[in-house]
Copies of this chain bind each other. A is one copy, B any other.
């Protein structure tokens, strides 16, 4: 088994509808996620950022980072900015797999297990866990590494993942990374 830490949609200007509900939850995950990213770097684990392009088909990692920093909550963005040169996949829809090159990238690097952190638990995290599951790619989700809009739906989503998608529900401190080589 070879894992990759996948950071989902954390370059967000937080200016959409529901942003306030979401940011209250994001406030709680920034620290554990940034520590997990630091641990991944230290241990040489695979790290991939996946982020929405918000409908801009000429965006790059730099522009998405800049736009998020220029938004309403740079304090939630700055600690999680992607390291220089990190693998970066841009998505247009609500799962990290649909119409993106992620599956190809995973195949190239022989990655067969994903650690999903980021937002939104009951949306992109749930849908991405499902898309991994149908592809027989293993998934771990640290409960303190994913942010939600509706807490009851997030709880149900984590329950669905564990029960029906073979997802390991864990924590940022406990989740096992594997070395890239």
Q: Which residues of A contact B (CB under 8 A)?
A: 48, 57-58, 60-63, 85-95, 98-101, 103-105, 107, 122-123, 126-127, 130, 133-134, 136, 150, 152-153, 156-157, 159-160, 163-164
Query: A150–B123 contact, CB under 8 A?
Result: no
Given A101-B92, A122-B160, A156-B153; A61-B61 close (CB under 8 Å): no
Q: Complex: how many Å from CA A103 to CA B123?
A: 22
User: Which residue on B lies nearest to A94, using beta carbons?
Assistant: B134
Identify which of B48, B57, B86, B95 contacts A105 (C-beta below 8 A): B57
Question: Chain B residues with Cβ under 8 A from A93's Cβ?
Answer: 104, 134
User: How many copies altogether?
Assistant: 4
Q: How far is the CB of A6 from chain B (nearest CB, A)?
A: 13
Cross-chain contact A58 with B152 (CB below 8 angstroms): no
Asked if A58 and B57 sit within 8 Å, CB to CB, the answer is no
Interface contact A164-B122, CB-CB below 8 Å? yes
Q: Are the C-beta atoms of A58 and B61 separated by less than 8 Å?
A: yes
* Cβ–Cβ < 8 Å partners of A86 in chain B: 58
Query: In whole angstroms, how far apart are the Cα atoms of A60 and B89 in the complex?
Result: 11
The docked-state distance in angstroms from the alpha carbon of A104 to that of B163 is: 23
Given contacts A91-B101, A94-B134, A107-B136, could you give 11 more A-B pairs where the C-beta distance is less than 8 Å? A48-B57, A57-B101, A57-B105, A90-B101, A93-B104, A94-B130, A99-B103, A122-B164, A127-B130, A153-B156, A153-B159
